[in-house]
Structure 1
């Protein structure tokens, strides 16, 4: 076994710790292992590193993906003890609060995306009858609204903003980006043509409009600028969930997938039909969701500055 020290790559240190938890019985067969996002939070690593660690564990057959549940320790769980643990967590199954329902739904969506979210799944997590959830939420559409509002509420707007419209808009966009990175499913819930009636999300629009209020722009221009900025953040964030789902399906990070496609790309470019792309492919260009967000944000703010000057 490889000796683990500070020189060991982060993903291997995570693999070693999760192996230890399984070997010690801290994680039993059938128990859910930390998701990629939980690993990111616990170890402070990038999403790609977390995904790579889980990929190694899958290749070792130590963990397996279970539809509707997530990544679990391989093997069959002892049903009675698992049930007993659930009952100990919840106590009597006489009902839950709305906050519990929303918090549980967010946890499922964070780990598995919206595809893994259902009222039945939430009820299973809370160890209550599915129909009891409808005392707190009217249905899935209402639940998604509450989840989105809670996600924005957990990342509160600052009490004071920096001076200047550009600094204020940049702060808002970065805050929104951090919320989407924390909850990749959220980009699929937010809509620009049918805005969410979620107070904590609407507050972002209000702050953005306030930042532009003294710039001499007409209302039409103000609203379109604010919407364009929000659309840039949300539109770029859509790729976060798609990337996470692709990693789960293939077991490959984006970088690993690109390496696997090297031969196919080489054959595509060898024909000589794409000279500009061929030239760029020889350069060390790091293109990812973060760089796209940053580049697009600055160019949009440059455009706003031109309008304000004019």
Structure 2
């Protein structure tokens, strides 16, 4: 018996194969599928998953799910993938579904090859994740030239990384601070921060101090970045914006906050406070660098 998701997927397949939808054209989003067919978000997600496994659609950052190149050409023999293709497909899966949807079997299925064939290109899942993270750095280069002054350079590095994590919410989860991966394209970011803290007039710093200053900036961005993926997934799961979710949850929170025992939190739950990951990033980065300025004698 054909399921609802299979029936909807067949309808979109027919539109692609008939030429109504051509490579690069957007396909119905999960929200549109929900609205047009009256199905649950999970069903709509299964529709796009099936089309992606067939190689008919792909995820493009900033655009959404579109018809894949060559999708309307029947009967063509698949091209053997290379390492770059493996990483590209893995990133597309992670962008669309998070790390929870990423597996070697899933990548092989999307590429149309046996799972064991992937190991010709990557030795392990850890190596694949490292290559994915390195690609994030490669596609998020620092601007050239970098601004003058340690503070401006530190802000530029932090904002570049923050923007990269927003484009690829899974990347922050991969990034290790205690056992850093070898990332050829990531070294430029570390070098830029180390250089920013060198040669400060009247405040020579040893390498260990500069390394602590550098890694602390990374840690701030990474620490907040790990919240992007679950927040994004939560919005997909329930269809609510963060503001809508808070409006629904606030009465329950206010009910457990005792004004006499928790006067400050009680006031906060009654105030209109704009508290988002972006605002936490901006506030946290500014206060961290304020502390650096005090440590460096306000030499920024």
Output the aligned Cα RMSD: 3.2
Q: In the TM superposition, what is the alpha-carbon distance from 1:253 to its structure 2 partner?
A: 2.6
Matches within 5 A, 1:89-104: 91-93=76-78, 95-104=80-89
**1:65 paired residue number:** 42
**1:147 paired residue number:** 132
Q: In 2, Cα distance between the equivalents of 1:55 and 1:94?
A: 33
Contact 1:137 1:143 in 2 (8 A): yes
Q: In the TM superposition, what is the alpha-carbon distance from 1:65 to its structure 2 partner?
A: 2.2
Answer 1 or 2: which has greater helix percent: 1
Q: In 2, Cα distance between the equivalents of 1:101 and 1:81?
A: 13
Q: In 2, Cα distance between the equivalents of 1:133 and 1:58?
A: 35
**2:178 paired residue number:** 193
Give 1:307's match in structure 2, choosing from 286, 295, 300: 295
The superposition leaves residues 59-79 of structure 1 with CA deviations (integer Å, 9 ceiling, x where unpaired) of 76246426xx945269x98x9
Q: In 2, Cα distance between the equivalents of 1:291 and 1:204?
A: 23
Q: In 1, Cα distance between the equivalents of 2:296 and 2:221?
A: 21
Distance 1:109 1:149, change over 3 A: same
Deviates more, 1:170-179 or 1:195-204: 195-204
Q: In 2, Cα distance between the equivalents of 1:197 and 1:111?
A: 25
Matches within 5 A, 1:11-22: none
Q: In 2, Cα distance between the equivalents of 1:225 and 1:238?
A: 21
Q: In the TM superposition, what is the alpha-carbon distance from 1:274 to its structure 2 partner?
A: 1.2
TM, length-normalised to structure 2 = 0.77
How many pairs are equivalent? 261
Uncovered stretches (5+) of structure 2, i.e. residues with no partner:
1-7, 17-25, 57-69
**1:17 paired residue number:** none
The reply to whether residue 170 of structure 1 matches residue 170 of structure 2 is no
TM, length-normalised to structure 1 = 0.75
**2:108 paired residue number:** 123
Q: In the TM superposition, what is the alpha-carbon distance from 1:272 to its structure 2 partner?
A: 3.4
Q: In 2, Cα distance between the equivalents of 1:154 and 1:231?
A: 20
Matches within 5 A, 1:40-55: 54=30
SS at match of 1:65: helix
Q: In 2, Cα distance between the equivalents of 1:252 and 1:150?
A: 31
**1:255 paired residue number:** 243
**Relative contact order, CA 8 A, sep 6+: which one is greater?**
1
Q: In 2, Cα distance between the equivalents of 1:298 and 1:201?
A: 23
Distance 1:73 1:141, change over 3 A: closer
